[in-house]
Structure 1
């Protein structure tokens, strides 16, 4: 705020203040600065995706499809055949990863299955470096 300090005038009228009141200008500047600080991080968040460039070549051979169903009680089925446990699943995934052409994995979790079971299967797939993965049946969760 501006303040005029000096000798009191002898006239009845107050003296004219010649200083500019900069308080509203500083307030506007601070509001704009806060808006800039708040909105810049929102614009910089990004998710990096490895997208293919150009047109893919036509497929000569249809890929093998492996259907991994996760039942509501936590049982895992490999092409409708029960898997004994985590070690057996790891062995099958390692065998699939060793193939010359990796099979497509279609993972279909049941709506009532625990999330940790699905996460464990997805982690096992990732540990074995399988890249052709699809989650099938997501419409049941809508």
Structure 2
């Protein structure tokens, strides 16, 4: 009876070695992919002293009410003339554009907003924000 009571206490390490070898192969294959250099264009230091950025122009407040009427700085504006107005604002100083702040009524139609955003994209406006009341 004493011989049956002594259980086999050895650990089978073969599955552990198999898993470790698979992980080693995976790491060996993926490491060269991670070491590919990425070119980054960093700004170069110039001899000119740093000039403070110009003051940003006043933002353009564009409001769309529930009936689809668009207001440019609280004055009514037609959808057709928005793109030309935006282009004019961008061309004043392309590097220092005013921010377009869009405020929509919750019952406004999405189609009107889509036309406003398309006009802003066509006018190459880059500073666009949404106002939440």
Q: TM-score per shorter chain, which class?
A: 0.5 to 0.7
How many residue pairs end up in the alignment? 82
**Residue 59 of structure 2 contacts residue 100 of structure 2 at CA under 8 Å; is this kept in 1?**
yes
**Residue 56 of structure 2 contacts residue 97 of structure 2 at CA under 8 Å; is this kept in 1?**
no
Q: Summarize the Cα distance change of 1:73–1:104 in structure 2 as closer, same or farther, 3 Å threshold.
A: same
1:107 aligns with 2:102: yes
**Residue 87 (structure 2) aligns with:** 94
- Give the number of the structure whose alpha-carbon radius of gyration is greater: 1
Task: Describe the superposition over 1:122-142 as per-residue Cα deviations: whole angstroms up to 9, x where unpaired.
Answer: 1110111100100111xx5xx
Query: Hey, what's the Cα distance between the residues in 1 that align with 2:129 and 2:52?
Result: 20
Structure 2 residue runs of 5 or longer lacking an equivalent are 1-50
1:111-126 → structure 2 map (5 Å cutoff): 111-126=106-121
Query: Hey, what's the Cα distance between the residues in 2 that align with 1:59 and 1:72?
Result: 38
Q: Summarize the Cα distance change of 1:102–1:73 in structure 2 as closer, same or farther, 3 Å threshold.
A: same
Structure 1 residue runs of 5 or longer lacking an equivalent are 1-56
Query: Hey, what's the Cα distance between the residues in 2 that align with 1:77 and 1:111?
Result: 15
TM-score by length of 1: 0.53
Q: Summarize the Cα distance change of 1:58–1:110 in structure 2 as closer, same or farther, 3 Å threshold.
A: farther
Shift of 1:99: 1.3
1:66 aligns with 2:46: no
Runs of 4 or more, structure 1, over 3 Å off, are 57-60
Alignment root-mean-square deviation, CA: 1.9
